[in-house]
Amino acid sequence: MYCQVIVDIVHENVARAFTYAIPEEMKVSPGQRVAVPFGSREKEGYVLALSEETEYDPGKIRAVKRTLEDYPAILPPMMELAREMAEKNHCPLAETLRLMIPAEMRGGRIRIRTEEWIDLTDEERARAAWSAESRSRKRKAILEMLMTGHPRRLAEIRERVPDSREALNKLETAGLIIRTEQEILRRPGTSLKSGSGEWHQLTPEQEEALEEILPAMRKGEGRFLLHGVTGSGKTEVFLAAARKALEDGKKAIILVPEIALTPQMVSWFQARFGTGAAVIHSRLSAGERFDEWRRIRRGEARIIIGARSAVFAPAENLGLIVVDEEHETTYQSDHHPRYDAREVARSRCDREGATLILASATPSILSFAKARRGDYMLLEMPRRVQDRPMPEVQLVDMRTELETGNRSVLSRALSSALISCMQKGEQAMLLINRRGYHSFVSCRACGHVIKCPNCDVSMTCHVDEMHPEDGGPTQLQCHYCGHRTPIPEKCPSCGSRYIRYFGAGTQKVEGEVRKLLPGIRTARMDIDTTGGKDGHARILEQFRSGEARILIGTQMIAKGLDFPQVTLVGVVAADMTLNLPDYRSRERTFQLLTQVAGRAGRGRRPGQVIIQTYRPEDPVLKMAARQDYRAFFEAEIQRRRTSLYPPYTILARILIESPAAAEAEDAAAGLGQAVRAVLDARPEWKKKVLLISSEGPGIRMLRGMERRQILMKMLTGSETEDFCAWLAKAAEEPRAGCQICFEYNPTSMI
Ligand code: ADP
Ligand code: ZN
Ligand code: ZN
C-alpha cells in the first residue's frame, strides 16, 4: 500500500503530494497525520489518499515512519475545504490544512495529559482474595472499593485509602489488579456567570423565523439571513435551532465576533447545553485549546461556540452554522492564508448538508445584497421582544455647543441626560471611538503635528494608567506600533512652547464624566484596560453588578451586550468613523451607531440615545438615528452602483513594504509596469480594469516600513479572476528587500 502525503512545509517546490509506502503493520487513512522522511530530515505530513499501486519505482519509495495520531485529524470534508481554499488563495495546500488543526498540534508541541486508573483483572478472584484477606486492612479496603465499581482513578483510591502505595504494589504483583493510563482533557475554567437555563416562550416573530429554519434543517439545507432589530431576541432563535440539531444527532457551530465581548451568548448556551458545549477562544492555553479540539473531534462536544477560527472545528455530522453579528469585520482574517469565515461557513454547509444562518441587526451591504438576489432567504424580526420600544435617538449639533461657549466633550443635552439617568438609579454607556486622552498634539505657532518616528500617523496622548488622578496627559503613544515617548515641552519643529491638544479619547471622557458626576463609579473598556486573561470579564461584571454605573468605551461596548439596566447611550463623536478614507466608512458608521444605540432600553424601561456630531445633517447619521436599515441599504447600494464600488466591482491591491523608501518605490514602479504590460497584452483582461492607481496607501509608513501600493478597481467576471490569479503570482516573485502581498477586496484600505 502507498499513500500520497502533503508534507507540512510551505514552499513552492513542495506544494504537491509525495508518495510513501505504508509498512505492513501500520494502519493509515486519509486525513491522518504522519511522520515521513523528507530529504535528510523527518517531517510531518497529511495523508491525502491511499493507493494500491504507484507509478514510481517501488524500490526508491521511502516508508512512512509513524502515525502522529491514531485517528484522522482532518475529516474528509475538511480536506476538500482546504483544497478549495488553497485553490482560491493561490497558496500551497499545506498552508490551508494548517488552519484545520490547533497550531500547537504541529511539531508535537503539546503533551497529552494522562492519569492512572486501577482495574481488577478478574472479579471472581478479587472476591476470593477479599474474603481471604486478613492481614492487611488497606488491601482489603482497596479490593472492596474496586468490587463496588471499577476501574477507579488512582487518585480516588489514594484519597480514600491513605498510604496505599505498598498495598497496591502487593495486589499488582499478585496479579489481582492492573494499572492503566488514560488521557484526560483539560477543560477551560469559565469566569462567566451562567445565564438562565430556562427556555423562553417564543415570540410570534421567533416562531415565524423557526418555521422556516427547522424544516430546512430537517432537509440539511437552507441559507438564511436573519435580520432582526437589536433586542428582537435573535439568540433565542439560535438556541432553538441548535437544540434541533442536537435532537437530530447533529452538531452546531455558533460563531461570534469575539468571545470576550460576547460573554452572554456563551453563558446562555452553556446554561442550556452544559458540558455539551465547547467554547474556543484565543485566551485558552495551548493545552486547553488542544483538548477542546479533541473533545469536538471525538464528538463529545456537540455545540461549538467560538470566534472566526471555530468555523474550522472538526465537527462530524454538522447540522448548523450560525454567524452572529455577521456584519463584523472580525470574520475576515487578514493573516495568510486569508479567509472570510462567512464564506467558509457557507462552503461547509453546502458540502456537509448543514443549515446556515447569518444574523445581524445591521447586515453587511454584501450579505443583504445577496439576500435580495435570492442567495439567502431573508427572515425579518422588526420588533423587540415583549413590545419593548426601540430607543429614541436625538442628534446633537456640537457646533452650536461651541457657539454657546460649551467647550466640554459632553453637550448640555448629554450632561443633563446623564445626571437624570443617575438620579433615577439607572445605567449609561458612552461610546468614544478612540482610546487615550487626546487624539493628537500640535504646535500652535507652526502647526506641526507630532508623529510617530516609525509610522506616518499622529501620536495620541495618554494619562498614566497607574496614576490617573494626577490629571492631564503624561505620555504620547502610537496606536499602530506601540511606540511611547514623554510629551515634549517645546515644539520639535520650531521650539515654541505653545503646544496644544486636540480631540478626545476614552480617558478624557472618563475624566469629564467624573467631574460632572463626582461619586458615581465609572468603568472604562478599551484595549488599555482589557489586558490579561479576564480583562473584559472583570469590567463587564463590574457593570453588570451595578458597581459601576457608567460604562465608557470604544466600539468594544457596541457588540451585542445585553444589560437591561441601561437606559441611556451617548455617542461622544459620531463623525470619527465617518471621515475615514475607506468606501466602507459609511457602512461602518451606520452599523456602529445602530448597534450602540441598540444597547439602550433592553429592559423594562425605555431607552434614550444621544449622538453628538458636527454634521447633524449627514444622511447616514439621520438614518442611523431613525435606525432605518432599509433606507440606509437602499441609499448605500445605489451609491456603490453609481460610484462603482463592491459588490459591483472588485478592489484589489498589491501592497509593497520595505524598510527603505527607494526599494519600495522601485518595486512599486516595476510591478506597476508589469501590470500595465500584461494588460496591454491581454485586452480581455484590460477591458475589465476600471482604474489602476499607484497613489497611497493611507499610511505610507508603518512600524518602520515604507509602504506603497498598486490599487485596482475591476468589473467582476471570469477574466478578472484570471487576472487576479496572475497578480497573486506576480506578488510572490521575490524582490530585494521588499515584502509584497496581493490583497483581493482588502479588509482595510490604510
Ligand atoms: P438580539 O441579539 O436580537 O439583540 P437578544 O437575543 O440579546 O437580542 O435578546 C434580547 C433580550 O430579550 C434578552 O435579554 C433575552 O433574554 C430576551 N428574550 C429573548 N427572547 C425572549 C422571549 N421569547 N421572551 C422573553 N424574553 C426574551
Ligand atoms: Zn512649532
Ligand atoms: Zn508607530
Instruction: Give residue-wise pLDDT tens across range 23-79.
Output: 999 999 999 999 999 989 999 999 999 999 888 888 889 999 999 998 999 999 999
Protein residue with least CA distance to atom 19, ligand 1:
233
The CA 738 to ligand 3 mean position distance, Å, reads 19
Grid coordinates given for 247 = 435532537
Protein residue with least CA distance to atom 25, ligand 1:
200
**Number of the ligand 1 atom closest to the C-alpha atom of 229:** 3
User: Which of 324, 373, 290 is closest to 562 using CA atoms?
Assistant: 324
Confidence band, pLDDT 50/70/90 cuts, at residue 651: very high
Task: Give pLDDT, residue 195.
Answer: 53
Rounded Cα distance, 567 and 14, in Å: 59
Task: Give pLDDT, residue 611.
Answer: 97
Protein residue with least CA distance to atom 17, ligand 1:
233
Rounded Cα distance, 546 and 192, in Å: 16
Rounded Cα distance, 271 and 196, in Å: 6
The CA 73 to ligand 3 mean position distance, Å, reads 41
User: Which of 107, 181, 92, 169 is closest to 138 using CA atoms?
Assistant: 169
Q: How much of the chain exceeds pLDDT 70, in percent?
A: 97
> Residue 476: nearest ligand to its CA?
3
Task: Give pLDDT, residue 415.
Answer: 97
Cβ(742)–Cβ(728) under 8 Å?
yes
Protein residue with least CA distance to atom 2, ligand 1:
234
> Residue 450: nearest ligand to its CA?
2
Rounded Cα distance, 491 and 502, in Å: 15
Protein residue with least CA distance to atom 15, ligand 1:
233
Terminal-residue alpha carbon distance, the chain? 52
**Number of the ligand 1 atom closest to the C-alpha atom of 201:** 23
Pocket of ligand 1 (CB under 6 A): 200-203, 206, 228, 230-236, 385-386, 562, 602
pLDDT at 191 over 50: no
Task: Give pLDDT, residue 192.
Answer: 44
Cell 502515525, located at residue: 67
Q: Of 385, 602, 604, 627, which is best to mutate to test ligand 1, by the most ligand atoms within 8 angstroms of its C-beta?
A: 385
Asked if the peptide bond before residue 734 counts as cis, ω within 30 degrees of 0, the response is no
Task: Give pLDDT, residue 470.
Answer: 56
Cβ(582)–Cβ(372) under 8 Å?
no
DSSP per-residue codes, 493-558:
TT--S-EEEEEE-HHHHHHHHHHHSTT--EEEESTTT--STTHHHHHHHHHHTTSSSEEEESGGGG
Angle at 466 between CA 465 and CA 469, to 5 degrees: 85
Please tell me whether residue 322 adopts helix, strand or coil conformation.
strand
The CA 447 to ligand 2 mean position distance, Å, reads 6
> Residue 200: nearest ligand to its CA?
1
Q: In whole angstroms, how far apart are CA 172 and each of 127, 144, 179, 661?
A: 15, 15, 8, 74
- The pTM score is 0.87
Q: For ligand 2, a single-atom ion, which residues have Cβ within 5 Å?
A: 443, 445-446, 448, 491, 493-494, 496
Asked if the peptide bond before residue 619 counts as cis, ω within 30 degrees of 0, the response is no
Cβ(716)–Cβ(650) under 8 Å?
yes
Rounded Cα distance, 721 and 313, in Å: 29
The CA 508 to ligand 3 mean position distance, Å, reads 22
Rounded Cα distance, 567 and 232, in Å: 17
Task: Give pLDDT, residue 535.
Answer: 84
The CA 213 to ligand 1 mean position distance, Å, reads 18
> Residue 447: nearest ligand to its CA?
2
Strand 355-360 and strand 223-228: the pairing is parallel
Contacts of 587 (CB under 8 A, 6+ apart): 364, 365, 636
How confident is the model over 207-264, as pLDDT tens digits?
999 999 999 999 999 999 999 999 999 999 999 999 999 999 999 999 999 888 888 8
Protein residue with least CA distance to atom 16, ligand 1:
233
Cβ(393)–Cβ(627) under 8 Å?
yes
Grid coordinates given for 437 = 486622552
User: Which of 309, 326, 337 is closest to 361 using CA atoms?
Assistant: 326
Cβ(427)–Cβ(566) under 8 Å?
yes
> Residue 484: nearest ligand to its CA?
3
Q: How much of the chain exceeds pLDDT 90, in percent?
A: 64
Rounded Cα distance, 564 and 560, in Å: 12
Rounded Cα distance, 371 and 342, in Å: 14
Contacts of 448 (CB under 8 A, 6+ apart): 442, 491, 492, 493, 494
Task: Give pLDDT, residue 466.
Answer: 66
Cβ(44)–Cβ(33) under 8 Å?
yes
The CA 617 to ligand 2 mean position distance, Å, reads 35
The CA 642 to ligand 2 mean position distance, Å, reads 44
User: Which of 640, 618, 515, 528 is closest to 574 using CA atoms?
Assistant: 618
The CA 105 to ligand 2 mean position distance, Å, reads 55
Task: Give pLDDT, residue 193.
Answer: 46
Q: What is the CA radius of gyration of the chain?
A: 30
Q: Of 193, 236, 605, which is best to mutate to test ligand 1, by the most ligand atoms within 8 angstroms of its C-beta?
A: 236
The CA 490 to ligand 2 mean position distance, Å, reads 8
Q: Which residues face 458 on adjacent strands?
A: 451
The CA 562 to ligand 1 mean position distance, Å, reads 9
Cβ(483)–Cβ(508) under 8 Å?
no
> Using CB atoms within 10 A of its CB, is residue 568 exposed (0-12), middle (13-18) or buried (19+)?
buried
How confident is the model over 411-432, as pLDDT tens digits?
999 999 999 999 999 999 999 9
- Reported for 294-297, long-range contacts at CB under 8 A and 24+ positions apart, including other chains, are 294/185, 295/185, 296/251, 297/71, 297/73
Cβ(100)–Cβ(314) under 8 Å?
yes
How confident is the model over 693-739, as pLDDT tens digits?
988 888 899 999 999 999 999 999 999 999 998 998 898 888 888 99
Asked if the peptide bond before residue 76 counts as cis, ω within 30 degrees of 0, the response is no
How confident is the model over 471-508, as pLDDT tens digits?
677 889 999 889 999 988 899 999 999 988 888 899 99
**Number of the ligand 1 atom closest to the C-alpha atom of 268:** 16
User: Which of 498, 454, 458, 459 is closest to 475 using CA atoms?
Assistant: 459
Mean residue pLDDT of the chain comes to 90
Angle at 621 between CA 588 and CA 539, to 5 degrees: 60
